[in-house]
Structure 1
Amino acid sequence: MFFAVNSVVTNNFTDENMINKIKALWQDAQAKLTDNSGCVYGIYHHYQNDYRGDYTLSIAVDHPIKHFSAIINPNPIDSYAVFEVNSNHEDKIYQTWQHIWALEQDHKIIRAYDVDFEKYYPDGRVEIYISLLK
């Protein structure tokens, strides 16, 4: 269960303001969160269709925080593929997403498009969790 700090709807391919929207979303979330918030998540949900369509990106934590009441529940029966990102630099994260999209294009994974997320650990590690169809 995730507790959203804020959210934005965007598209990786057709929204010319996508980068600015996502940067503003993270800046706003960082201003609202404290250093002791633990792991922070970038939650991808409400997909229009696949990775080329619109989706909602929410910044969230995994525990209730005052004034953050929006709750996002992943489907408990989803299975996840986990991709470790070698750096928390945005280029490395984007490269990992490109790898995930290529795996999907090559039919090596079949995504559920339910709730996917990036998990940002306090020590700087990043993992991307992709929901898969069984």
Structure 2
Amino acid sequence: MKTLQTTEPMLVLGIPLRTNNQRAFEDIPTHWQRFSGENWLARIPHRRDGDVYAVYTHHAHEGVDNHGDYTLIVGACVTHADTVPEGLASAVIPPGRHAVFEVEPGRHDKVGERWLDVWANQDLAKTYRCDHERYAPDGKIEIRVGIR
């Protein structure tokens, strides 16, 4: 694990899913299939780059814990969004400190397992506000968790 300090917010547009940790291993793979199968990445205007983001936000207990419902938005970082196209939602990844957990490149199937490691780490002062995954075109995968 390494840490990353960001100084600018990032705006992500993508398709939303309301779920929780009890349903996540069932709901999230289906959501990703929808994102890919319906070619949503190509439909997102003003993409900043080729990265794909999965943003976990709007927690039922924001700032406290990750229990209860939250929204997952799978999409792309954009330069701006004058309007949010129908079918999409937006999320802002705020600037701040993030613990970065790498996943074996190209191994999307290992992301859920890595999240289990993240949540088991009791030494992190997690913010429980806006965590995200970053998928680079070269296969690199990172889980970024907001920390105090």
TM-score range, shorter chain: 0.7 to 0.9
1:24 to 22, 30, 40: 30
Report deviation, 1:3: 2.8
Report deviation, 1:26: 1.5
Q: Distance in 2 between matches of 1:94 and 1:22?
A: 10
Q: Distance in 2 between matches of 1:126 and 1:101?
A: 17
Query: 1:20-60: per-residue Cα shift (whole Å, max 9, x none)?
Result: 432232122222223x9600001000111223321110012
Q: How does 1:1-134 map to 2 (within 5 A)?
A: 1-13=10-22, 15=23, 18-30=24-36, 31-34=39-42, 38-49=50-61, 50-63=65-78, 67=85, 70-76=89-95, 78-103=96-121, 106=122, 108-133=123-148
Contact 2:16–2:89 (8 Å) recurs in 1: no
Q: 1:121 to 1:4 in 2, by over 3 A?
A: same
TM-score if structure 2 supplies the norm length? 0.72
Q: Distance in 2 between matches of 1:90 and 1:5?
A: 18
Q: 1:10 to 1:100 in 2, by over 3 A?
A: same
Q: 1:61 to 1:109 in 2, by over 3 A?
A: same
TM-score if structure 1 supplies the norm length? 0.79
Q: Distance in 1 between matches of 2:29 and 2:117?
A: 22
**5+ long unaligned stretches in structure 1:** none
**3-state SS, counterpart of residue 142 of structure 2:** strand
Contact 1:10–1:55 (8 Å) recurs in 2: yes
RMSD of aligned C-alpha atoms?
2.3
Q: Which residue does the alignment assign to 2:3? A: none
**5+ long unaligned stretches in structure 2:** 1-9
**3-state SS, counterpart of residue 125 of structure 2:** coil
Q: Distance in 1 between matches of 2:40 and 2:110?
A: 25
Contact 2:55–2:74 (8 Å) recurs in 1: yes
Opposite residue 114 of structure 2, the aligned amino acid is T
- Which structure carries more strand by proportion? 2
Identity %: 32
